[in-house]
Structure 1
Amino acid sequence: SKDGIGAFGRLLIGGRFGTLFDDDPKKWRMYADFIGSAGSIFDLTTPLYPGYFLPLASLGNLAKAVGRGFRDPSNRVIQNHFAKSGNLGEIAAKV
């Protein structure tokens, strides 16, 4: 169930914010890093509170999936900016 929550969150973010990534990709990339770090913090607290493992792990997975949902599209916009001569594959391989 925790993986399904993460997938649903990523789908929701892609559908809701998909058109905004082209305007300011650096801002969205920064948000993605903050949200992904918050998800990692939730994952790291699961050993401290084993009784709340499923809610904490689900929330951590949701936050990391939402962070990936913000990071991946904004990363593509940044890569397209650097691939002026049509060498997107080369740029993606080096980033």
Structure 2
Amino acid sequence: METASVVERYGGQNGRSIEWDARVDKHNSLQPIGHTQRRRSNQFSLSYFKAFFMDVFLPQGYPESVTDDYMEYQMWDTIQAFASSITGALATEAVLKGAGVGDETATALAATMTWLMKDGTGMVGRIIFAWARGTQLDSDCKKWRLVADILNDTAIMIDLLAPHFRFIFTYLVCLSSLCRSIVGVAGGATRAALTQHQVKWFIQ
């Protein structure tokens, strides 16, 4: 590549020397070699990060491998999951306070028993629900996906209200844990069914 050397002068004094690309662009102006290299480097960096993002977060062969509604569904599902995570964190804080965290009069034994009853109810509920409705989740995934979302919001609301009803606090957190156990089974099964529905073809 041919280059031309240009010397900048300030007030009659010699300035710095710059190498310019001898080729002219469509506006008949010269461009410095360094500027051209930086532009190509920036384009390479953007292409690399775009390819990395698509490889990590999008399915293989996107967008040809999925249906047209895939991106819209994922966008709203991501917003819903983000909102659920925020409210879930607030609900966990409320349950911890209700269990005695930060209360000097609360005992560790009482908090442990409450937590064991809460988790135990969830485990039993998960097993019973999977036994009773497990075969219906794939065939009617839209219905159970909606049920899972409603129960998840219900569980969060119960957790937020539970500390204000100390006399039935244990029963309330057990009920919210039961709702979440159904959410875990129904939500996981329906998500898999919906994902398979959006697949056009598989990459071996």
Using the size of structure 1 for normalisation, the TM-score is 0.81
Relative contact order higher in (CA < 8 Å, ≥ 6 apart): 1
**Alpha-carbon offset, residue 76 of structure 1:** 0.8
Q: Secondary structure at the match of 2:186?
A: helix
- The structural deviation recorded for 1:50 is 1.7
Give structure 1 regions of 4+ aligned residues with deviation exceeding 4 angstroms: none
- Count of residues paired in the alignment: 87
Contact conserved, 1:6 with 1:62, CA < 8 A, in 2?
A: yes
Superposition map of 1:59-70 within 5 A: 59-70=175-186
- The answer to whether the Cα contact below 8 Å between 1:37 and 1:64 also exists between their aligned partners in 2 is no
The residue aligned with 2:191 is 75
Unaligned runs of 5+ in 1: 88-95
The 5 Å alignment of 1:1-95 reads 1-86=117-202
Greater helix proportion: 1
TM-score, normalised relative to structure 2: 0.40
5+ residue gaps, structure 2: 1-116
Q: Distance in 2 between matches of 1:75 and 1:9?
A: 20
> In 2, Cα distance between the equivalents of 1:41 and 1:61?
12
User: Highest Rg: 1 or 2?
Assistant: 2
Percent of pairs with identical residues: 29
Write out per-residue CA displacement over residues 60-89 of structure 1, whole angstroms, 9 at most, x where no aligned residue. 1111111222111111111112233236xx
Q: CA deviation at 1:51?
A: 2.2
